[in-house]
Structure 1
């Protein structure tokens, strides 16, 4: 999409019931040199409120920003996004007007070499300079367990909201008593902000067994009712459940005006690859408009939504996700923090592994949409590791791939960016019926694209993405000892190499948790991939055509 500045939006879209209303623009500048004084706006009874919501989601510790290929930067000078550009843009907007709130919809942890080397301290050191009014919790905030998360939250300078989180005794989070909502007064109007944390964290992350969640819709209803009793007129929810789930929530619960979401990395707007309009307009059970927004991932975009409210109801709106270009100004304090964190990366960047001349679909998004270079190479590496244990098949979930293989020099840091989670390799023995169920489960997202999609080695499978969930897998074949493809036998037992996370039943791959687990030497995924690529030297293009009918090879 063409780059837009915050000052480029001059019109609002009216709600159907208010079509034709004359609306003034909101003025927000991203290049304000100093913080000008502004006068508090006294609101007269019945006067409309113009509210500006700035938001991010799934920033994944991309503190220095992101390259056009989606790879995390170590330094932020020439990159898109990054914490320093976000903080400066939000800070300038708040300095210019008193009707701005700024929100982060979760998954601030994991995904970059900066986080792998510094851990939660990376985020904690930069939080004091981030101008958020509230944040919620994504699934990756639970990746180090509830104790580590509780220790982190205690340091946070802004509210961490989770109305649906109800940890039981024994969970480190139970002592925090996290608030479900916070109230801000904007130009005399009470605005409630409700947080809804990701509720899959026991299955897809490392939350403790005592972590419990209430039903999202019911938790939202309770929060809205409590806010209304406090005289709140406008309710904004920040969630980490996903774009389809946010739309369903909007249709299920009265009293929510705006939903700022995350988790699915959805880019909304008029871009060619957008998942939907910005904002996506749903309607509550009572018929009021509910505006749903999200702003992709990795700090590349800062969402900006302008809404006019009359009598507590949204009557007009405008906005878009704004791409934070390299030339945009940065916050000097965060620039310094990023430089300090990057010093820890030097040794990893100076350790060569291999060379790559291949250009193929790759990275965190591509690996959820079909075959990807890093996924295929990882599966090949894990299959090679597993051969001495009788392994015939390797499967890697697309969500495990967090970056793309660089073109040119591949260093040790590049491998850790692709595999930042520290997974070990597991081997299971399972019948073909279980493998077919796992492949089908990998295709179970609404539009197929998702973190459960399996990148295979020693196996290939055919997909029809147009079929209903549960019937998209058409066929699967296994390569025998002679190199010939044979149909996967539902009754035969195969040895399969996997990441331990999936072997333990993560992402609801229960069939692997129930399978027979074969003892193997401990080996980290990043180490296995490093050794495999080192053995190749100049990396050849891996065999493609392993996922047929979906992704870059729609054969």
Structure 2
């Protein structure tokens, strides 16, 4: 028996139909240059900062780099795996136009060894999953997806599909993908969110077994068979991956997704710092960001018992050669002049470019030409028409952040405008409408300054084609819904469903203090009625509008199900509401919206 075993691993997750390179932005401090302490009213010596914009990733660049990694493994006599951590679906016009067909085709060209089922794969029920399974040439793992109660006569039946590794009800373990691994076998176990019914829309006869319990039983069963090299391909998110590693002994490695966590030290690019391969209970965890912008590459050495004894690697951008570099505007300077790139010297530009390449582990923009040709010949033409349709010109950038932060203490700049558009659309049907309420996860990208196309809205910013739903709800249940959604977004005393549940209203204002006792965290709730801000009355009834997703109680919004009535607005979707609003009132977006969320975390 060998004493050590080597694996070259490539991994991606949460690609969300981003087949072409994505726009990426960095903030770089020029530490070699000292800024005039008196310039623009600065106090003391400082270093200038620069905004850097370029493009990274996409499937053609991924395809080339994965080929290189596979060849490198072969040259070093190492085993190789390429794994996808789930959520290939949704996100761009490619999914809106082609559903999962383009996803399956292009993933087949990347040749993954396996992918785990993500929540967005099952947003529209089991039928899209069935169609995806019929097209893919690699296994889809969903080891805690229990299909034992599935209707065997329905068209979208998943149980028994040869490409699906689901839950084995007889053994109460996950079905496992086993692959030869030197003189051993390596097991790949796919575990997805057991809260799937709260954040997605699986068919009613589809259930999800507790992730940790299922994993523990599966690992124990594998160990009993003498299989010790056990990889968990997870779509749980980084926090739950940590919980999983702590709770279950014997996991060799967790390859994760769902939380869009970019591991690695990217603080010098303004992207923060997370340890790549952080260890919990002797189990390293890796995750590779989002949107196919980055590729995780690791060289791993295991001992004969399956323990990782060495892990080297990290996440890599695949950056375009063309880079836009502009000085960061200071608080006291004129924004237009401070953003003038012509003011930068050639030396400064080259220094910033070098900093970017040094600290981004940049692999470059070399692409697999065959994959690029497929994208641009088979799929891109259908999108060009939407790209050409101009809706408005936006006066400035509106940043979307799911949770309030130091830089954005009241949270997203964009989500409240989305709620306002919902309010304006629903007001045409319901004159007594009081408020609109939208979840942060329903908005996917920033709204950037300049030309706004139809493609920007329906393919990037609001890719989910969700109907609007009116409802009448008592004040006490509305207040509870706000607290429940924020608790879920921040894991405050509960196992949350992700930051996407954070609420952004229009016509409502409230404060949340996470350190208070449950039931007392939301206070000072005001409703805009009769052109006045009025205190929410717990016994009174109010009419609101949300997407059908939120109104159905997903992601902590269960109290909305206590509405007196709900009525779906026919022929009115979230996307249409926002398109109508910006088409008519883009000039209004120059006005600052009154802040409607005061937020204090619990930790």
Find the residue that maps to 1:249 and give its secondary structure. helix
What per-residue deviation string (whole Å, max 9, x for no partner) do you get for residues 454-496 of structure 1? 11111112233555776543432122313x3222222221111
Q: Is the 8 A contact 2:293 2:317 kept in 1?
A: yes
Q: Residue 258 in 1 paired to residue 253 in 2? A: yes
Give the aligned length.
494
The answer to whether the 8 A contact 1:361-1:371 is kept is no
SS of 1:123's equivalent in the other structure is helix
1:458 to 504, 507, 520: 507
What are the Cα deviations for residues 323-342 of structure 1, in whole angstroms up to 9, with x where unaligned? Answer: 22223311112211221312
> Is the strand fraction higher in 1 or 2?
2
- Alignment partner for residue 538 of structure 2, among 477, 490, 496? 490
Does 2:442 match 1:400? Answer: yes
Residue 441 (structure 1) shift: 1.7
- For 1:93, the equivalent position in structure 2 comes to 69
Q: Secondary structure at the match of 1:68?
A: strand
- Aligned CA distance change for structure 1 residues 300 and 365 (closer, same or farther; 3 Å): farther
1:511 alignment partner, SS class? helix
Work out whether 1:332 is the aligned partner of 2:365: no
1:342-381 aligned within 5 A: 342-362=380-400, 371-381=411-421
Shift of 1:427: 0.9
Contact 1:163 1:223 in 2 (8 A): no
**1:63 and 2:25 matched:** no
Aligned to 1:523: 572
Choose which of 291, 297, 309 in structure 1 pairs with 2:302.
Answer: 309
Q: CA RMSD in A?
A: 2.4
TM-score, normalization by structure 2:
0.77
* 2:133 corresponds to 1:148: no
Structure 2 CA distance for partners of 1:493 and 1:246, relative to 1, 3 Å: same
Contact 1:406 1:414 in 2 (8 A): no
**Deviation beyond 6 Å, 4+ runs, structure 1:** 363-369
Distance 1:52 1:265, change over 3 A: same
Instruction: Extract unaligned runs of 5+ from structure 2.
Output: 27-53, 166-174, 321-363, 493-497
Q: Is the 8 A contact 2:123 2:200 kept in 1?
A: yes
Secondary structure of the corresponding residue to residue 379 of structure 1? helix
User: Does structure 2 conserve the Cα–Cα contact (< 8 Å) formed by 1:115 and 1:122?
Assistant: yes
Q: CA deviation at 1:434?
A: 1.2
Residue 128 of structure 1, CA deviation: 2.0
> CA distance change for structure 1 residues 382 and 203 in 2, over 3 Å: closer, same or farther?
same
SS in 2 for 1:163: coil
User: Displacement of 1:217 after TM fit?
Assistant: 2.0
TM-score (norm 1): 0.83
Who is 1:174 aligned against? 159
152-161 vs 319-328, greater mean Cα deviation: 319-328
What displacement does 1:278 show?
Answer: 1.5
CA shift digits 1:117-141 (9 cap, x unpaired): 1110111221221131111100010
Please, which moves more after superposition, 540-549 or 242-251? Answer: 540-549
- In structure 1, list runs of 5 or more residues that go unmatched: 1-44, 71-77, 284-288
1:384 to 397, 420, 424: 424
Q: Is the contact made by 1:443 and 1:469 (CA closer than 8 Å) also made in structure 2? A: no
Out of 80, 84, 90, the residue aligned to residue 104 of structure 1 is 84
- How far apart, in 1, do the equivalents of 2:385 and 2:545 lie? 31
- Aligned counterparts, 1:508-519, within 5 A: 508-519=556-567
How far off its partner does 1:259 sit?
0.6
* 1:366–1:96 Cα change, 3 Å: farther
1:364–1:403 Cα contact (<8 Å) kept: no
CA distances 1:431-460 after superposition (whole Å, capped 9, x unpaired): 111111111122113367711111111111
Q: Does residue 424 in structure 1 map to residue 467 in structure 2?
A: yes
Q: What's 2:485 paired with?
A: 442
**CA distance in structure 2 between the aligned counterparts of 1:64 and 1:205, rounded to whole angstroms:** 26
Q: What residue number does 2:3 align with?
A: 47
